[in-house]
A = this chain, B = another copy of it.
């Protein structure tokens, strides 16, 4: 089935019996654009795999400040917790399709199947690794460098029509809340990159990368 490709990471090395058991109890949810899959602090009832669309993970404080923690693309696992509630909300940017697995079943099969547990741990590891990258970007980088960090991150997902075109389904405000900046600063940083000949703006939410090296140097968070 076509679906299987999406689950490669989650279901790698997991016996077919367990996979199909999980699929049978799963539900496919359709999300209109800009709707919430679940809210911060809500009880974790399920874990999810994004099948279609783009979503963002956000966290808000009592003071009303919002931090975007990441953007997710088809195939991504959503809903890692280490509590019985979610520490973040998940909102769709585009129309999206999400497969939901009831958490009780998922936990039960995770306990039963070491491979599944291992895969969840591995996914958790790469999510964690992403968080460290973001810490580095927010702690050490200037505005235009942070924008490059985002461009590169999205580019590496390989979800554009062409290799050097980056689609940005989120608003400038979303980008700003991801990068710890304001919308205006993001806008100016983008213009600066354009003026420097690093990128070319196709439309508001699509840009062509002209100078790959500069983008990857400015955006890099791991020192190689």
Contact = CB atoms under 8 A, between A and B. Distances in A.
Contacts of A65: 140
Interface in A62-106: 62-63, 65-67, 69, 80-82, 87-88
Contacts of A126: 82
A139 B140 contact: no
A61 B136 contact: yes
Interface string A27-70: 00000000000001000000000000000000111110111010
B138 A135 contact: yes
A161 interface: no
Interface string A120-154: 11101111110110111011100000000000000
Contact of A59 (B111, B132, B179): B132
A117 interface: yes
A143 to B, nearest CB: 13
Interface residues of A, number: 44
A67 B180 CA distance: 16
A220 B60 CA distance: 11
Interface of A: 40, 59-63, 65-67, 69, 80-82, 87-88, 111, 114, 117, 120-122, 124-129, 131-132, 134-136, 138-140, 177-180, 220-224
A82 B122 contact: yes
B62 A220 contact: yes
A132 B131 CA distance: 7
9 contacts: A61-B223, A67-B140, A80-B125, A82-B124, A128-B128, A128-B131, A131-B132, A135-B135, A140-B180
B128 A124 contact: yes
Nearest to A139: B180
Nearest to A141: B65
